[in-house]
Chain A
Amino acid sequence: MSRIKDLQKNLFGGTTSNARQFGMIFTLVAIVLLFQIWTGGLTLTSGNLIAVVSQYSYILILAVGMLMVIVAGHIDLSVGSVAAFTGIVVAKAMQEHSLPWPVGILLGLVVGAAIGAWQGFWVAYVGVPAFIVTLAGMMLFRGGNQYIGNADTVPVPAGFRKIGAGFLPEVGPDTGYNNLTLLLGLAACAGMVWREWKARQTRREMNADVAPVWITVLRLAVMLGVIVFATLRFAGGRIGTSLPISGIILIVLVLAYSYYTRNTIGGRHIYAVGGNARAAELSGVKLKRVNFMVMMNMSVLAALAGMIFVARSAASGPQDGLSWELDAIAAVFIGGAAVSGGLGTISGSIVGGLVMALLNNGLQLEGVGSDMVQIIKGLVLLLAVAFDVYSKRQGRFSIIGTLMRPFRQEQSANAADQPAPASDPDKAPVAG
């Protein structure tokens, strides 16, 4: 039992908090395999993978921002409306004032920042719950979208469409693959090896146990395998296609925000505020500023997601971004964030988002109607969180733990010979 736990910990670099992610990765792999078999190999074709990325990247971008909002103990219901509002403002500005498209993108981000400042002000400085502020924002900016666009669709110029529907150009010798995507894959592999090496280095400096070499090699092999596979698939699609630009934007954001939330003071303050706001305040964390920045950041990302969507569909319309907030929130919770704040990771949310996306995609490929898709997605969300609640109540944290229960009892019987009541998990919160 303990060896399996070690393996799990070593393979996934996990502590207790992201063990749910571990379960979700399992689920993700299972979903992929299931649909791969069910659709007769359609799921993992180049064309389909590229379509999934360009179709869901904006939801995943929202999930990145939403994770931080939820970790800080808030919620943002307005992201869909903010995305739609930004989309129409940018589309209008480019159409009627013939704004060049790069300036249009900048304008969109500024609009997002302004909306975020507005919402952040109410949440952080006035103290209105984010649920209310963003519920209001949901109506406000949905209405704003229809007011500005006259409830009509507004097309966007070709240059702008790149960020949503564009691909990497074909350069260099004819390899039968998209060369830039191959280069990206190579860089990712190198980055992965470097990271692994660096992690071992850090563990050694801490005088902590360093995982045996074979585990590191195994883990690297699995991850490099996935990267190589994905690279070949994305590079090997129809001529002119590659990893979509929107996918690249997503990857950059995920890397940047993962780093920020895990390794910086600012990131740690978000977790501190969500975990115990008063304790954070008494430790010198500037509570209002953190709340303000988190809300503002979310709206900027919502603006970006809105623009990518508009670019992909070539026009901004009144129905853009409808119920996106729900998809983003679902992704975050499936990915292991706590409803009460303080827990959750970017990578978890991305895995959660991918579970939703692949579920959607696979069911659609099979021709399942959107009614059933909704029902299934709802059940997945419920079960994922219910599983978490259940495992927390049991004082266990992982699927493995549950699967291994027979072994565990044997283990505890041995441990019982030397009682160590101080670590009794059931009592810890009660003992005075």
Chain B
Amino acid sequence: MTQAPTLLEMRSITKTFPGVKALADVNLVVREGEIHAICGENGAGKSTLMKVLSGVHPHGSYAGDILYRGDEVRFQDIRASEQAGIVIIHQELALVPGMSITENIFLGNEPRRRGAIDWKAAQLRALELLEQVGLREDPDTLIKDIGVGKQQLVEIAKAFSKDVKLLILDEPTAALNEDDSRHLLDLLRGFRERGITSIIISHKLNEIEAVADTITILRDGRTIESLDVKADGVNEDRIVRGMVGRELSSRFPDHTPDIGEVFFEVHDWTVRHPNSDERLVCKGSSFNVRRGEIVGFAGLMGAGRTELAMSLFGRSYGTYLSGRVYKDGEEIQLKSVSAAIRHGLAYVSEDRKSIGLNLLDDIKTSMVAAKLPKIAKRGVIDPVSEHRIAEEYRDSLRIKTPSVDEGVVKLSGGNQQKVVLAKWMFTDPDLLILDEPTRGIDVGAKYEIYGIIQRLVGQGKGVIVISSELPELIGLCDRIYTVFEGTITGEVARRDADPELLMKQMTATKKSPTS
């Protein structure tokens, strides 16, 4: 990357929201044909910066200049920036599930012939675009019938249909499994060969290290530094240091496990898919958890880990076929969520916004929502103890908020996750199932969440962690089960755990002998 011409320069961008300065004097220089990563903790201003660039925040609502291909540009809306060849792909995909791939690619941009949509041309062009992004699917397939990884590719194909020069990807691999992520990153490298410039925003630092040419780090709405990956010899720790402004000596807090007896056992758990008679999402799964133990569940996207957890938690997913659950040696029935809560189970969902929290609630109502009788007398809620409990959790989990009366929507991802954890800690569980507990939250908050998990097992509780990030499982868990297509394919103790072994078991049907 020896000094390619500058494609984009954003100069001293300052953007203020009522009461908050989201961006303060931010500078960004992107050279033609590079992959430019933007890193920063949640709330550092990455998304706002991209919204300024793409015209979501129109010219005039911010201070500073944007120079694009040598000229100053003033985008009034997204359409204007797209016309200039700047396309942004958001974390939440903007596809219509009930429409086909072709229809989605050309939505709002349909090729016309004499007033009507020229479907034939669209079809041919769609095939061409899918070829470019390496997606082999019938363009008539409905979006809802393909996986999220492929949906992402459709989004990129859609961007290509608009003659893209600068592609912006906001957390493109957050929802993807390792395979799809790798494919996507390869694709980005391919684009680079063809001279298409990309900006990528990601929390996954290993991916950034692997793919980016240049990294710009934002912190608290300011540009901290711009690094040339090759010249500066950048590694993950270097990026983390820039993001948090301090050296994180370790990604995981120190912890000496104190593991007790097996107290929770599942035998032969079999569950059928809710919409399909022959598909089993859990096939005779058996596993156990000891007191004071962190047990990991590793698997690719769609392996059935979430399904296993949710079906255990009061049969909240699929149709129960067979299986038994024992707690402290006695069989327990978990036919409803309230029964599961009563028996000391807690499930923190992977999707905190759509099923984990009521986003209309304030912090304190969220925290007590799963066990209201604990703060009520004869059905009447005591506001004083509600408030007191919320304050206790705010202190002990270090939730950053001016008041527990604030709405949960106003919190950052990491703090929202802490509220969800508080909600389930409040139910006094013996076994917590945490599904992707650190998804979409920044490095600093992750560290704190790991600390909370370790404190919980320190109290003699059992914790199950479902995660798609192998380093997280290996760093955190005392024992890891691997899951492949609804079957538990292996069990690995901490000392034996390494990414290669786990990956092998996560992609193999037969039971591994190394357990």
Contact = CB atoms under 8 A, between A and B. Distances in A.
Tell whether A pairs with B.
Answer: yes
Given A268-B381, A421-B44, A425-B410, A416 B358 contact: no
Question: What 5 pairs across the A-B complex have the smallest Cβ distances?
Answer: A432-B440, A275-B358, A419-B21, A422-B43, A416-B21
Nearest to A396: B18
A272 B387 CA distance: 18
Interface centre among A282, A283, A423 (most CB of B within 10 A): A283
A364 interface: no
Interface string B370-401: 11110010011101100110000000000010
A33 interface: no
Interface centre among B44, B170, B355, B411 (most CB of A within 10 A): B355
Contacts of B347: 282
Contact of B45 (A275, A280, A421, A429): A421
B349 A282 contact: yes
Contacts of A342: 358, 360
25 contacts: A202-B383, A202-B384, A206-B388, A263-B383, A264-B381, A265-B373, A265-B376, A265-B381, A268-B381, A275-B358, A279-B358, A282-B313, A283-B369, A342-B360, A412-B20, A421-B22, A421-B45, A422-B411, A424-B20, A425-B18, A425-B410, A426-B17, A426-B22, A427-B47, A428-B412
B128 to A, nearest CB: 32
Nearest to A273: B358
A272 B369 CA distance: 8
B19 A282 contact: no
B21 A411 contact: no
Interface of A: 15-16, 202, 205-206, 208, 263-266, 268-269, 271-272, 275-276, 278-284, 286, 338, 342-343, 395, 408-409, 411-413, 415-417, 419-432
A416 B16 contact: yes
B311 interface: no
B361 A284 contact: no
B121 to A, nearest CB: 34
Contacts of A415: 19-21
A384 to B, nearest CB: 20
**Interface footprint category on B:** 35 or more
B22 A283 contact: no
Given A16-B407, A272-B358, A275-B360, A424 B369 contact: no
Given A282-B356, A342-B358, 7 more contacts: A202-B384, A268-B365, A279-B354, A282-B313, A284-B341, A427-B43, A428-B412
A283 B20 contact: no
A125 to B, nearest CB: 15
A428 B338 contact: no
Contacts of A424: 17, 20, 22, 43, 48
Interface string B167-199: 000110010000000000000000000000000
A343 B360 contact: yes
Contacts of A266: 379
A276 B115 CA distance: 43
Nearest to B402: A423
A279 B370 CA distance: 10
Nearest to B387: A206
Contacts of B325: none
Interface in B96-135: none
A15 B43 CA distance: 25
A205 B415 CA distance: 26
A415 B316 CA distance: 45
Contact of A279 (B92, B356, B362, B387): B356
A415 B19 CA distance: 5
SS class, residues of chain B in contact with chain A: mixed
A239 B412 CA distance: 63
Contact of A421 (B92, B220, B340, B355): B220
B90 interface: yes
A283 B357 CA distance: 9
Nearest to B370: A283
Given A276-B358, A283-B369, A425-B410, A419 B221 contact: yes
A172 to B, nearest CB: 36
B283 interface: no
A264 B379 contact: yes
Contacts of B423: 283
A361 to B, nearest CB: 34
Contacts of A422: 42-43, 400, 411-412, 415
A269 B358 CA distance: 11
B361 A430 contact: no
Contacts of B370: 283-284
B358 A419 contact: no
A426 B17 CA distance: 8
Interface string B283-311: 00000000000000000000000000000
Contact of B42 (A268, A395, A432): A432
A266 B373 CA distance: 10
Contacts of B313: 282
A278 B369 CA distance: 13
B359 A412 contact: no
A335 to B, nearest CB: 17
Given A206-B388, A419-B22, A282 B174 contact: no
B91 interface: yes
Given A278-B354, A412-B16, A432 B349 contact: no
Contacts of A286: 336, 338
B405 interface: yes
B365 to A, nearest CB: 7
B36 interface: no
B380 to A, nearest CB: 5
Contacts of A338: 360
Interface string B1-40: 0000000000000001111111010000000000000000
A263 B377 CA distance: 11
A265 B400 contact: no
B409 to A, nearest CB: 5
A96 B410 CA distance: 62
Contact of B355 (A205, A282, A426, A428): A282
Contacts of A282: 313, 316, 337, 347, 349, 355-356
B372 A268 contact: yes
A64 to B, nearest CB: 19
A263 B90 contact: no
B413 interface: yes
